[in-house]
Structure 1
């Protein structure tokens, strides 16, 4: 190998080495700047009292996008045509978006749920066709513990696109029950007995007072609406105690069992 070739190879290796060292320095400095920018973003979002889960995900998204931009910049430093890479990333983004449309919809809905806060962990809700206590609120799914102790994961997009009932926000909730009476029973006596008994059930609120009124009539007799009010955490206790009250108070009063009455007439020609 002649001296000129050796010199050329040496120059190429030196230039390549210098470019690699420069690229490593750019990458290191870029990483430091990215971490600094992400840290500033987190602190700014924390000062706005934004949900910590959303802050973490936003910081992750910013970090990923910034690192991709840094890599493209380093490739451009080496003389690589970055326009094709940008087009490739755009095409990949479109393909991934089409393939993960449902996942991205859940992600977007989760972000809105975290910001708007229609419910929080520990609330008793009905959402996405599921009723129970919120166990965990994520950006993609919400975990709900149903009353029969089944953990159900519901997609946030399904929740956000439907009605959400939150039973834990308001200070009290109405228990709705019905009591069937026989035709011969004095409904005023039955109403008085139930109101007196409801006052003795634990966790039934005095204000608003329980509602006991005639709801409707059927072939067996009048039907009473029995509606005490209580906090959501005592709902089922009041529900079952009220059912027991209806049965026991009517039994002690000696009310006849409700039965349908028919009149049959023999029509003669």
Structure 2
């Protein structure tokens, strides 16, 4: 008789547990779909307000994780688990994880600051943490930059935020810096006028501000010209290479001699007279 009673009680308990387990599974499936549906609605609402895409991903990840934690706590409560103790345990675990993973939290905080202060956005061409390239993603802990030689580089957000950031896409135009060596005998005013006219005809070179061509320094070969056209960041390398070609073509068409270094050597003879040795050209 006692065995029959024990069996009935066990069967009753198993039946109750089974029903609760089935209910928990159904609750999990239904709640997951509701969470996904809510995330889609929130995402659509953010996009309609033209919110920054990276900020949208941040908020959606936070909301999604929070809702799933609430769901887990609700399911545990459904099984009769004391959720207050669980919440305290979760908080203690969070403190322990925070102490152990301080670096990750620093990267998370830096990512949040990058979103708030917006020193750059996805699609900008920047230099950050020693890496130059186009920003492809600003994540929770890391950001991705695609370098000009098509190498995807992933950098910790804290490293980016704690270092200098150069954003080449922030301003409407950018200056190309090149130099052109002249021969001693070349009239620099003629060379400057020819270069300005040639560079102004290069595609995508801005007329305002106009290209700058001036003497920047001198060396043993002659004057050195600073050649500085302006263009949009998207056309930087095209203008850079075309300007080099323009320098070569302009000097060739003008028939300028090839720059060469000159040295003047002198010495004293035994009678104290200083003979002058003609300057020699070293190409």
1:37-96 per-residue CA deviation (whole Å, 9 max, x = no partner) reads x94994786787544212211212321442354356557xx4x66666455433422332
Match of 1:54 in 2: 58
Match of 1:195 in 2: 196
Match of 1:123 in 2: 124
Match of 1:244 in 2: 245
Alignment of 1:1-269 (within 5 A): 1=1, 6=5, 17=16, 28=27, 39=38, 42=42, 50=51, 51=53, 52-67=56-71, 69-70=73-74, 73=77, 78=80, 85-268=86-269
Tell me if the contact between 1:42 and 1:55 (Cα under 8 Å) persists in the aligned partners. Answer: no
What TM-score does the superposition give when structure 1 sets the normalisation length?
Answer: 0.78
1:196-246 per-residue CA deviation (whole Å, 9 max, x = no partner) reads 111211111111101111111222222111000111111111111111111
- In the aligned structure 2, how far is the partner of 1:112 from the partner of 1:65? 25
Structure 2: give runs of 5+ residues left out of the alignment.
Answer: 273-283
1:145-188 per-residue CA deviation (whole Å, 9 max, x = no partner) reads 21112222222222222222222232211111011112222111
- In the aligned structure 2, how far is the partner of 1:248 from the partner of 1:97? 63
Tell me if the contact between 1:211 and 1:226 (Cα under 8 Å) persists in the aligned partners. Answer: yes
Deviates more, 1:115-124 or 1:175-184: 115-124
- In the aligned structure 2, how far is the partner of 1:229 from the partner of 1:47? 36
- In the aligned structure 1, how far is the partner of 2:181 from the partner of 2:250? 13
Tell me if the contact between 1:42 and 1:59 (Cα under 8 Å) persists in the aligned partners. Answer: no
Q: Indicate how the Cα distance of structure 1 residues 163 and 213 shifts in structure 2: closer, same or farther if over 3 A, else same.
A: same
Deviates more, 1:239-248 or 1:154-163: 154-163
State the 1:189 CA deviation. Answer: 0.9
3-state secondary structure, aligned to 1:237: helix
Structure 1: give runs of 5+ residues left out of the alignment.
Answer: none
- In the aligned structure 2, how far is the partner of 1:217 from the partner of 1:173? 26
Superposition RMSD in Å? 3.8
Tell me if the contact between 1:182 and 1:255 (Cα under 8 Å) persists in the aligned partners. Answer: yes
Count of residue pairs the alignment pairs up: 263
